[in-house]
Amino acid sequence: MNVYRTRAGLFHQFRDVLQFYYPAMIDTVVGGYAAQVDERDGYVYDARTRHLVAAARGVHNFSLGVLENGPDWCRYAAEHGLQFLSSVHWDDEREGYDWQLDCREPTDRTRYCYGHAFVLLAGARAHEAGIPGGRAELERAFDVLEERFYETEHGLYADRATPDWDSLSPYRGQNANMHACEALLAAYEATDEERFLERAYTVADRFTREVTSATDGLLWEHYTEEWEPDLAYNEDQPAHQFRPPGYQPGHHAEWAKLLALLADHRSEGWLLERARELFDAAVDFGWDDEHGGLYYTVQDDGEPIVADKYGWVHIEAIGASALLSRFDDAYAEWYDRLWAYSREHLINPKYGNWYARLTRAHERDGPNRGPAVEPGYHPLTNCWLAMRALEDEPPAFGTS
């Protein structure tokens, strides 16, 4: 039996990831989180850089620890990170969150929707966990997203702005909108206020049904100002770490997860139908039949562009399959298959944290320290969601 069909097995993995990052990333001198932790041996390899996304994800992660009755230090760790996020990352003069700092000094003040979405997520989870200041951060981040990034005529968010908000980039992206949708759902769950659910539904509907009609229902990553697919974007940089060309199986699975979560709060039948379509697409064109695992990026026929295996891709697919398996046992089979692959290749046997990236044949081609924005957010989130799925008394998930 798959041990991750049990709450005990999932909580063990959840706790292992939390303990990998605590106390290593807690910085009591500079403040905030030194989130650049070597994924193999657990030491901080960069104690100076402070990244907005890492800060927000850390608050989110430790807040989940509080919600799941994890170790007592989770509350302190969440409060510690939220204080730095709300005071040092926040630019009071320009009213936005600074993207990157050297210790406490800003080095990049570009205003990214992606970063502000993660602050909204952090505030929502902190508020839900009873962390002081969580609700205030939720409201502040939401206000910036609505006033500076949301484009009513498209029902979607712009991507980035200059530090003084003088101009928006013409680039429009899938990823910022996906994480905005995630954060809005969390804000709804934390407050029970319909405005957050309505906005999350609008973004999901607009992107996963309307925008994707131009690419036969598949999720392209990069768009023009008018939300037309920019199929040539970064085509000369196929291995770009954050904005590669091609289709990403991991984001298809991640959107499937979000639509399944939305379906828990909305009655529209298309949500689960589209969630199934997106998950099926992820595994149909993304699964590597020779070596196992999901490719990072592919062409629309499933031919890999970057065949590397990323940890976040597989744990997102695990979260999606856990939610979908409540309705169809075929997804429970994928849940087991993805966990078996991940245990063999992607989870550090020494600490239980997840590796960021391996080659197609599961080798390392460098130090593999992982991106500076990833302090365990993907595995913690999806273990937590799978534990919630077990509580729902589903017809399929949790059976042998």
User: Which tokens is 396 given?
Assistant: 């399929």
Q: Of the listed 127, 251, 252, 314, which one is catalytic?
A: 251
Query: What's the gap between Cα 72 and its chain centre?
Result: 25
Q: Of the listed 51, 116, 154, 378, which one is catalytic?
A: 378
User: Which of 349, 374, 231, 358 shows the shortest CA–CA distance to 288?
Assistant: 358
Backbone angles phi, psi at 69, to 5 degrees: 55, 45
362 is catalytic: no
3-state secondary structure of 297: strand
Give the span between the Cα atoms of 356 and 376, in whole angstroms: 10
User: Which tokens is 131 given?
Assistant: 């962390």
C-alpha distances (whole Å) from 90 to each of 59, 86, 119 are 15, 6, 10
What contacts 327, CB < 8 A, 6 or more positions away? Answer: 272, 394, 395, 396
252 is catalytic: no
What contacts 200, CB < 8 A, 6 or more positions away? Answer: 181, 184, 185, 188, 262
- Geometric angle at alpha carbon 181, from 178 and 186, rounded to 5°: 130
- Geometric angle at alpha carbon 309, from 306 and 312, rounded to 5°: 115
- Which residues participate in catalysis according to the annotation? 251, 378
